[in-house]
Every structure is written in C-alpha cells, then in structure tokens.
Structure 1
Amino acid sequence: MHQLTYGDVKAAADRIAGRVRPVALAPADPGEVRAARRGPLGDRPEEASKVWLALEFMQHTGSFKARGAQNFIQAHREAGTLPDAGVTIASGGNAGLACAWAAQQQGVTATVFLPTTAPAVKVAGLRGFGADVRLVGAEYADALAACEDFAATTGALASHAYDHPLIAAGAGTLLEEILQQVPDLNTVVVAVGGGGLFAGVATAAQHHGVRVVAVEPENCRALNASIGAGRPVDVTVDSIAADALGARRASAMALHAAQQADVHSVLVPDSEIVRARQALWDHRRIAVEHAAATALAALTTPRHQASDRGLPATADFGYRPGDGEKVAVVLCGANTDPGDLAHQVEQG
C-alpha cells in the first residue's frame, strides 16, 4: 500500500493549480455556532474560539472530489499512462461527477457505470459532462463489477471514489489553501466516509502541526471503528448522510493517516446533522448535502456517553474547541435536493 506523504499533497497542489477553484473561507459570526446547538447556549464566552467555514461546496461539480479527479487524470497524462480508452469509474455520486468533469477538461473519455436504479438527475449530470453512462444491474456492486470488466477488456484507466493516493492527495490540497488564508490555524474539521478527503487533509495537517477532527455519523463509523480495532474493519451503514459517507470500510491509507497525525475521531447523531444543515440554511442561505453538515454538527452536538448509545467507550460525541482555538470546518459538498429546506424561507 502506498503511504501518502506531504510530498504527494504538494505535488498535487502544483499539478492542479489553476485547474480547480480555490476554496473560499467565511468567518462564522459571533455566537453562530453556539446558536445552532440544542438547549441553553452554555457559559462559554462568545470569543472562546474562532471558526471559519471552508466553502468547498462551491468547487467544480459541487464537491471537493474535483480536486482528486483532476490530480488523478493530470498525473497519468504527465506520466504518459493515460490510455486511449480513457478513464472509468463506478459511481453515480460526487466521485462519478468529478471524474467525468476532469476527463472532459483533459479531453478524454469517461465511462461511468451506475446501477439501473440511479436517479435520472445523476445520469443527466454525468452526460452533461460528456460521460458515456452505462446502467448495469440493480445494485452498486453490479455496476462496480461491470466497471472492472470494462477496464480489463478495454484497457481504460480505473479510478476510485476515495481509495487511491492520487485521489487523496488531490483532496489534501484543500488544507494547503486554507492555511494560505489562516496560517495560524489550529484545527480542521472534516466529515469522513471512505477516507479520501480525510487521508489527504490529515497528511497535510501532520506536516503543518494542525489538529484534525474526523467526524462520522454514529451509524456510519468506518474510520472510528478501524481506529479502535487498529485495522480496517467492516461496519453497518445507516445514516441520513449515507449517500456520501456510507462506506462500509475506511481505507488502510486513511487509518494510517489517523495513526500518524493529531486526530480526534468523533461521532454525531443524524438528528444533529439535520439541525446543522438547517442552521446553515437559516443563517446563511447555504444549502449543503448532509455529508457537509456532518462536519459542522461536530461543533453543535451535545456531549453523549457512548455507552448510553450502545457504542464503545472510545467513541466520542462532538468536539468543543478550546479558548482561542482557530478552527476551519470543511463544507465539502452541496449535491443535494434543497426542497426540504424551503419551509424556512422567510415570508415577506
């Protein structure tokens, strides 16, 4: 297994410079995070910590995935290993969209495999980026098997949603851009699914001495469980954010990064993910997907006893920054249906 290094992240940053949108940061208003919490605001002073929202949902294709996809394809082009058959991936989500977009930018073909149950809007989005969309089987596993057969038969370059060093290194460039704007940052908060974004960010964070808060839904805790076991393990998946964070097993690369860097693995309940997503809409008119709200939910989730929720004692809930701590919360994507937020639109 390739162990991700800071050199990989720096190389990715150089490779994709000018090809992706630099992340914008928005400072949270005094009391904004505290106001999103349930119940009393508590006795912590308003100025106890400084929080920035990293608006990565404004990235090409609506998520951070564009970074890794662009790095993956550009690196293979530079190395002369980009085949005439182009690239292929099994993903109807953000990774598929990013792969199709990056391939279009590089003038190569992307063949994307999805199950026949994939939403029409995703199929349309992929075709809008020029992808050759193949609908196969009723489940993702069927689409993945067809993708693997296609790569073996045609010689197309197989990409992955998260478990590849070029994909993770591209995602890690996000922290480099955040640090250019907040060089004395103490902590970065990221949601974790399979671990591509986390692995890249944690690798860069270790180099810079930045703490990483890795946030997962309590019933999609692939990284948290792997840290506890000391090896990647399978977990059950059941969360409102499972469409993006529903990996059954975190990558070995992500676990390695968690073991090297200053990482706090925390869980949040679905109810707090929903609350955080609604708060972003109410306070800022930002409509993000539940995966993005998962990161913010770490700062708004009340402390729980893990044992009370049937989880190991090592499973922490939520994160409270210390006095003077400077924190960036990554809002990683916005490929969502905002219809369920509309009821909060002000009447006028």
Structure 2
Amino acid sequence: MVYQTPLLKHEFGHQSKSPTIYVKYESLQPSRSFKFRGISHFIERAISSKPILVDTMKVYSSSGGNAGLAAATAAKSFGMECIVVVPKTTKLRMIQKIEKEGATVLVHGENWGHADTYLRETIMKEAKLKGLTPLYVHPFDNELIWEGHSSIVDEVLLQLKQENIPSENLAGIVCSVGGGGLFSGIVKGLERHGLAESVPIIAVETEGSDVMAKSLRAGERVELNKISTVASSLGSPYLAEFAYQSARKYGSKSVVLSDWEVVSTTLKFADEFNIITEPACGASLHLGYYPDIVATSLERNLTPKDIIVVIACGGSCMSYEELLSFKPAGMV
C-alpha cells in the first residue's frame, strides 16, 4: 500500500557552511503525492471499524487535484468503487488520471466549494437512498488523514537513524501548506515521538494562497475570498483548525514566496534532477536551494551538523512546457 519513500541527501550547490539538506520523495507514492498516505489510511480504518458495511461502502471525493487522484488510487487498491466530483477548472489531464484508476468523475461547479457541496448534498444523499454507505474523503481536514500522513515522520527518523544521525541533529522540517493536511500530519508524527517542541516546522506558501501566514498574523483563522497562485494545489480558502492551533502552540515558522520563485525553482530542479514536480512542491524545494531563508526563519546559524528535511510533497499533473508557460512576459 503506502511506500517508504527515499530520503536523499542533496547538495543543491551549497557552500560547506550550509546545513545538510535531505529531501523526502513523496512523488513516489502510488498516486504520486503524499496524499495517498492519509487517504489510504482513512479508508483502511473505515473498513476495519465497520466490516459489516464493506459491501455497501463507496468512496466519495470532491477534489480535482492530488486528493481526488489519491482517493481513486486508494479505493482501487481496496477493491472499492469511487466517485470524484471535480470543478470545471480541473485539468483534463487530471480527470483522465482519476478515471484511469477506475473512478467515476463528475464535473460540477466553478470551484472546489461548489463541487464539494454538490457531492455531499446531492450525490451522497442519493447514494444513501439506494442503500449505499458513502465514505466521504475530505482533501485535508480529517484527523485520520493526518494520522496517515504522520508516518512520514516515522520514516524520516528511521532513515536518519540508519545513517547514524541522531534525532537531536534534526533542526527543522520544511513542508508546503495549503489547507494544512500535510502540516498536521507532521505535527502528529513529531508529537508521537516527543519532538514537537524541539523540531520546528517551516511552513511554505505562495502569495495569493497564504492562508496560514495571514491567519498567524491576524491571531485567528481567516478565510481567503480569492485564490490567486500558479501553485493551485496550495489553493485552500481556509486552514484546518488543528493546523492553526498547532502552528501557534509550537511556534511554527511561516515563509511566503512569489509564484515566480517557486516556478523557477521547479524548473531548476527539473533541469538538474530530471524530476518534474508541481509548483506547490517547488515551494518547499525552494528552501533547499536557499538555506539562508531557513536560517532566517529559525533565527539561528546553521552548520553541516544541522539536518533540514524538505518534504517533496509530489504531484503528478504538471509538464515542463506548462511550467515554462508561467514565466513572466519578456523573461528569458
């Protein structure tokens, strides 16, 4: 089911005084993103808690992004049917990927909110009337999903130990943040290992989708009226309550980048490592190339003894040509 993904040391062209950067490759999960961890765990727990209803269970998702693909992939692995409602803005390439996993895709609404409401208020209600047991998979805001994502931390600590690196050397974990699902999973994992107080999380967002940064500045959760970023996978109008409270409790660091910063990093990473990721993943990778941002965020000097783990969250719906199309006009 869930793969133990590689944790690889990367130089990123740094000088010898920079921290040691490791990248966790979640693009190698079955659905090509970290989303598979939490969603497959969620479905597995639903099956084990209500085995008598398994024959009537059907998976329902409203994401036209990586969560929808993860729901379809996980449902297929459990031999379950899956319906995914996506908004009209969903890329044809992603619809085809979801359908390839055996899911039924319905297109409805102008945005995720419209698609989600239609799924819950119409499609799932009709399913109940037919005697089915709808299993609703939220893209990010569910404790079981965070529990599944938390296995990333288990793996990171094990893999560092296998390289004789003590957990005390782990100076920080960098992750991209949209609605806070991955962030919440990392918090859960650190808490389980007693490291939440000592290992800071650096949350990276893009301008136009920086709901965590705005919430932390406001001292309360805010909701974005408009999402405007090329990193569409980070485009959540709100932040999960647990993510917000955890960021405040543990003093998580917030970094906000421009669209061009993440796109240029994603292109550079593709050129150097022959791996194409989405801009949402490029947001975290950007700090691998620019460790000074990490040091500034942590308010301390970093040395090669300090380990910074960058979670390359993945994503499978981007081409090199599309990344190039994001270049500002006139830029070579």
TM bucket, shorter chain:
0.7 to 0.9
Matches within 5 A, 1:43-122: 45-80=15-50, 84-122=56-94
Distance 1:117 1:258, change over 3 A: closer
Report the RMSD for the aligned CA atoms in angstroms.
2.4
Question: What amino acid is aligned across from residue 229 of structure 2 in structure 1?
Answer: S
Shift of 1:162: 0.3
Distance 1:143 1:272, change over 3 A: same
Equivalent residue number for residue 183 of structure 2: 198
Shift of 1:249: 1.1
Distance 1:321 1:287, change over 3 A: farther
Matches within 5 A, 1:88-237: 88-149=60-121, 150-155=123-128, 156-183=134-161, 184=167, 185-206=170-191, 207-208=194-195, 209-235=198-224, 236-237=226-227
Shift of 1:329: 0.6
Counterpart contact for 1:193–1:244, Cα < 8 Å: yes
Matches within 5 A, 1:315-326: 322-323=302-303, 324-326=305-307
Distance 1:277 1:77 in 2: 38
Deviates more, 1:56-65 or 1:146-155: 146-155
Shift of 1:220: 1.5
Establish whether residue 332 from structure 1 lines up as the match of residue 332 from structure 2.
no
1:77-121 CA deviation, whole Å, 9 max, x = no partner? 110175514111111110000001111111111111113443222
Equivalent residue number for residue 328 of structure 2: none
Establish whether residue 294 from structure 1 lines up as the match of residue 283 from structure 2.
yes
Distance 1:198 1:120 in 2: 29
What secondary structure, in the 3-state scheme, does the structure 2 residue paired with 1:48 have?
Answer: coil
Equivalent residue number for residue 311 of structure 1: none
Distance 1:75 1:269 in 2: 39
What secondary structure, in the 3-state scheme, does the structure 1 residue paired with 2:150 have?
Answer: helix
What secondary structure, in the 3-state scheme, does the structure 2 residue paired with 1:61 have?
Answer: coil
Distance 1:267 1:302, change over 3 A: farther
Counterpart contact for 1:114–1:143, Cα < 8 Å: yes
Equivalent residue number for residue 8 of structure 1: none
Distance 2:85 2:308 in 1: 38
Equivalent residue number for residue 259 of structure 2: 270
What secondary structure, in the 3-state scheme, does the structure 2 residue paired with 1:62 have?
Answer: coil
Shift of 1:262: 4.5
1:26-64 CA deviation, whole Å, 9 max, x = no partner? 1112xx254xxxxxxxxxx52431111111111111100
TM-score, length-scaled by structure 2: 0.83
Distance 1:116 1:263, change over 3 A: closer
Distance 1:161 1:51 in 2: 29
Deviates more, 1:168-177 or 1:204-213: 204-213
Distance 1:197 1:285 in 2: 25
Distance 1:182 1:303 in 2: 23
TM-score, length-scaled by structure 1: 0.80
Distance 1:322 1:126 in 2: 42
Question: What amino acid is aligned across from residue 178 of structure 2 in structure 1?
Answer: G
Shift of 1:302: 9.3
Distance 2:287 2:32 in 1: 22
Equivalent residue number for residue 4 of structure 1: none
Equivalent residue number for residue 330 of structure 2: none
What secondary structure, in the 3-state scheme, does the structure 2 residue paired with 1:86 have?
Answer: strand
Shift of 1:166: 1.0
Counterpart contact for 1:205–1:212, Cα < 8 Å: no
Shift of 1:66: 0.3
